[in-house]
Structure 1
Amino acid sequence: MLRNKILQQNGAQSFTYFSTKILQLKPNYFGSIKIFGVKELKKATDNYAQDMILGRGAQGTVYKGILQDKRVVAIKNHRILGQSRLEQLITEIVILEKINHKNVVKLLGCCFKTEGALLVYEFVSNGTLHHLLHSGTRVTEILSWDNRLRIAQESADALAYMHRYETMSIIHRDVKSANILMDENYTAKISDFGSSILIPVNHDQFTTHVEGTLGYMDPEYIYTRQVTDKADVYAFGVVLTELLTGKKPFDRQRDEDDIRLSTYFVKETNENRLRESVDPQVLEEATDEQLSAACDLVHRCLDPLRGNRPSMQEVTMELETIRKMG
């Protein structure tokens, strides 16, 4: 069933292209992605035991699993699949099968069943950047200024890699701090490619339905429905603002005009209140030169006109420069 669907469907290009150019199909595998059996994953999660649950979301539950070879993995159990969600899962499989980057979460396998699907990922042990920043239990050393810049640079480098991948540009479309996982060393790992699309390099944009998360979405993309890699740049600008300020991307407790962190931060800095806006730890540890450069980079990422935004490759290089200023 899945093999046929992979050969038949994809948003920007046909799966026939991917079957011949990307996926080397063989028994029990799609390229490097293993096809697990239902019983194998049931055993790995101790029959989906409550104490193996890592988290729950709108699309399903994530379990910790221990495979037969003793590898610890994360297993996402997706609920009953409609056509649209099935296509998203297939897109994620196609993308993650080919990506090999240390700052992108690895998809190890999948299992499609009548009532849903299971995706098996590498186990990333320290939760999300969103939780680290906003849970109220932050660890000062982990969120040092240099670590924040490092996490930003790692995430930016992964996105830059995706945007210039071989003959395709992979647009994530849901870049946010909740989709940046932290491993045992607090190294960043971009995750959740269900909303991603692939655009041939000779296409500047692709018209599609709007996907993303409130507070992170590129206003030009919302208005035109034309997605480019600059939609990811805008969303990354919001993540960088979170790292600078420690504030949530969307907060109804702020004044009505300031609910979105992006508009709040731009307004505050334009009115020369940068030092009042940033996280106290950042203010204490960053040099004035670093703060000014980081603020300028955020402004350019959040420019309402996507043509004025930098590429993710440029963002990566600028973050490296800012780190060296310290």
Structure 2
Amino acid sequence: MAASATVSGGAMPDLTHRTSFLGLKLYTLLLILVLMVVTTVLLILLCVRRSSKKRKMRVKHSSGAIPLVSKEIVEVNTLELKIEEVEEEDPKKKETKLEESPSVESPNIGWGRWYSLRELETATQGFAEGNVIGEGGYGIVYRGNLLDGSVVAVKNLLNNKGQAEKEFKVEVEAIGKVRHKNLVGLVGYCAEGAQRMLVYEYVDNGTLEQWLHGEVGPVSPLTWDIRMTIAVGTAKGLAYLHEGLEPKVVHRDVKSSNILLDKKWNAKVSDFGLAKLLGPEKSYVTTRVMGTFGYVSPEYASTGMLNEGSDVYSFGILLMELITGRSPIDYSRPPGEMNLVDWFKGMVANRRGDELVDPLIDIQPSQRSLKRALLVCLRCIDLDVSKRPKMGQIVHMLEADDFPFRSEHRTNREKDPVHSKAAAPSKIPYPTRHVEPIDKSSWR
């Protein structure tokens, strides 16, 4: 009776008692049940965590985490560019590639809009030949009309041995976030499969090259004042790249065909496919020599050492082109005039600067304005890179009312007993310093 009362009163069961389930003892069966419950809970938690992580990755991908922009470009000897991963703890040691097929869940990301290939095909009428507005070694540019009514320029990059991918990365790095009135704006991108396309704002008045060297009639519409406005606008755009950004951007292909003009003759620097980024701790970057013959600085052509001084030299050639209306290299000219730099220096040294002005300019410039432009050219193409002015200084020189070197020139003449007042030239006081000839071998 006592034993019966104890069991009915709720005493603990005998855990060593064998059950009818496989003959297992009660405590063994209870342990198995507990382990099963714990395992089930852990599996549920793991599935929930994985699902949450995938959702976060999708949100991050559609919110503009790509394309990835590097903060620093180290010295390299190839055109390959390293693009950092934004959220890595040590970004200097990480490298990632732009995704082959970016998400189209959200069309607006980062610095522009992701366009689908179908959108751009529609905008350009299937990339019709009639919409071609430019063509170069790295791609074809089409005029496009988007569904919202806006007009754009679509650059379809040619996939020559991966060059399209390289140029795509460079453009995104260099001007993805840049907004300046003298730089062509990058509106968006397209990356589907092997296709790489860049969508720019449309500039509606052609290139400087077309207006300088095309068939414009007996009188050029580019007056002297318009040409100086174009020069100042180009200089301001380059000054922003060199001095207003961190890291600075070296364009590396400054030339007349890369200067676009709007209806008011405002200049916009375009085509950043060869650009290089230069961090604050680097005075130059060593890279493969690229650019256009006639515009490339001698020191870069011979050593591959690139910095903003190379752009300054190219701008000096561009300014000569504006003044004279001649191409940097013109084999149709007499032997002494084929190379614009050599001919230009010789004319200035012989005090024949008036003869340098493009004969298609109807109204000749003032002596002061011409003198200022000529000497800016000479400063820009100085063979000593350290003596070339910065682009910001060039803007000031071209915009200054008074000639910036007047007082300096007079001081030098007063100190030099050889140059007396009686010996002063009757016309423009051209620079008297020795100008060394260009080493033509470095241009090959």
* TM-score w.r.t. length of structure 1: 0.90
Partner of 2:118: 39
- C-alpha distance in 1 between matches for 2:257 and 2:139: 16
Partner of 1:242: 321
Cα deviation 1:124-168 (Å, max 9, x = unaligned): 111100111110216957411111111100100110010013431
Aligned equivalent of 1:86, options 151, 159, 165: 165
AA at the equivalent of 1:122: E
Structure 2 residue 184 is matched with structure 1 residue 105: yes
Structure 2 residue 272 is matched with structure 1 residue 204: no
Partner of 2:371: 292
For residues 149-168 of structure 1, the aligned pairs below 5 Å read: 149-168=228-247
Which protein has the larger Cα radius of gyration, Structure 1 or Structure 2? 2
Partner of 1:312: 391
Question: Which moved further from structure 2: 80-89 or 91-100?
Answer: 80-89
AA at the equivalent of 1:110: Y
Q: Which has the higher helix share?
A: 1
Deviation at 1:324, TM superposition (A): 9.2
CA distance 1:280–1:8, change in 2 (3 Å): closer
- C-alpha distance in 2 between matches for 1:302 and 1:213: 16
Q: Quick check: 2:246–2:279 contact (8 Å CA) kept in 1? A: yes
1:109 counterpart SS class: strand
Aligned equivalent of 1:301, options 374, 380, 384: 380
2:84 counterpart SS class: helix
Structure 2 residue 95 is matched with structure 1 residue 16: no
**Any gaps of 5 or more consecutive residues in structure 1?**
none
AA at the equivalent of 2:286: T
Partner of 1:114: 193
Aligned equivalent of 2:301, options 202, 209, 222: 222
Q: Which has the higher strand share?
A: 1
CA distance 1:82–1:285, change in 2 (3 Å): same
Q: Percent identity?
A: 34
AA at the equivalent of 1:302: I
Cα deviation 1:65-104 (Å, max 9, x = unaligned): 1111110111111222433441222111122212110010
**Any gaps of 5 or more consecutive residues in structure 2?**
1-60, 75-80, 92-102, 405-444
Deviation at 1:28, TM superposition (A): 3.6
Deviation at 1:14, TM superposition (A): 4.2
1:280 counterpart SS class: coil
* TM-score w.r.t. length of structure 2: 0.67
AA at the equivalent of 2:341: S
Question: Which moved further from structure 2: 115-124 or 291-300?
Answer: 115-124
2:176 counterpart SS class: helix
- C-alpha distance in 2 between matches for 1:180 and 1:290: 22
Q: Quick check: 2:218–2:360 contact (8 Å CA) kept in 1? A: no
Structure 2 residue 238 is matched with structure 1 residue 183: no
AA at the equivalent of 1:92: E
Deviation at 1:323, TM superposition (A): 9.0
Aligned equivalent of 2:312, options 233, 255, 264: 233
Structure 2 residue 202 is matched with structure 1 residue 123: yes
How many pairs does the alignment contain? 322
Structure 2 residue 58 is matched with structure 1 residue 58: no
Question: Which moved further from structure 2: 238-247 or 257-266?
Answer: 257-266
Partner of 2:127: 48
Cα deviation 1:21-58 (Å, max 9, x = unaligned): 9xxx9944441221100111111111122222223222
Structure with larger RCO (C-alpha < 8 A, sep 6+): 1
Aligned equivalent of 1:258, options 334, 337, 340: 337
CA distance 1:281–1:79, change in 2 (3 Å): closer
Question: Which moved further from structure 2: 109-118 or 183-192?
Answer: 109-118
Partner of 2:54: none
Cα RMSD (Å): 2.9
